[in-house]
Amino acid sequence: MAEIIITRVFRAGLDHVFDYISKPEHILEWWGPEGMTVPMMKMDFGKQGPWMSEMHAPDGRIFKVSGEVTAVDPPKSVGFTWGWHDDSGQRGHESHVLIELEATGDMTRFTLTHSGLADQASADSHNDGWTSSLGKLEKIIPAAL
């Protein structure tokens, strides 16, 4: 199994950043790599329960992912399972995502850990996807220099 850890520091308070990682109306603003559209989603990372997202690539490919929000500790963390669906709709290998927030003065340290990935190739692919998505979040909530 493989794991990735991505850290950012945002120039915003803990509650503000938590709103952007937990509330459906804000998640949609940054969810998915650059160039993807998200025409279908059921995501509320502010409470435990099922979630799903369908991302459409510019070339027409469709990527469906779903899971369960397993832990919510406002405004400090959100944890959820993650599993891609194949073309027939079957959910595949399950991994886990934990987003942790820590106040550092008037800024917030954001740490995303995606664990239980099938192999290093999967970890590399997820690292690219998360890095692109977080780039979108950094355009909304400025990153610390």
Cα dihedral 115, 121, 122, 124 in deg (nearest 10): 70
55 token code pair? 């991302």
pTM of the model: 0.95
Residue-wise pLDDT tens digits, 118-130 = 999 999 999 999 9
The model's pLDDT over 64-91, given as tens digits with 9 standing for 90+, comes to 999 999 999 999 999 999 999 999 999 9
pLDDT for the residue numbered 142: 85
CB 39 within 8 A of CB 54: yes
The segments of the chain whose pLDDT lies below 50 read none
Residue 138: what pLDDT? 94
pLDDT at 39: 92
Structural domains in the chain plus CATH codes: 2-140 (3.30.530.20)
pLDDT for the residue numbered 145: 57
Best CA proximity match to 35, nearest among 144, 129, 145, 142: 129
Residue-level pLDDT at 144: 72
Whole-angstrom distance, CA of residue 108 vs CA of residue 13: 6
pLDDT of residue 69: 98
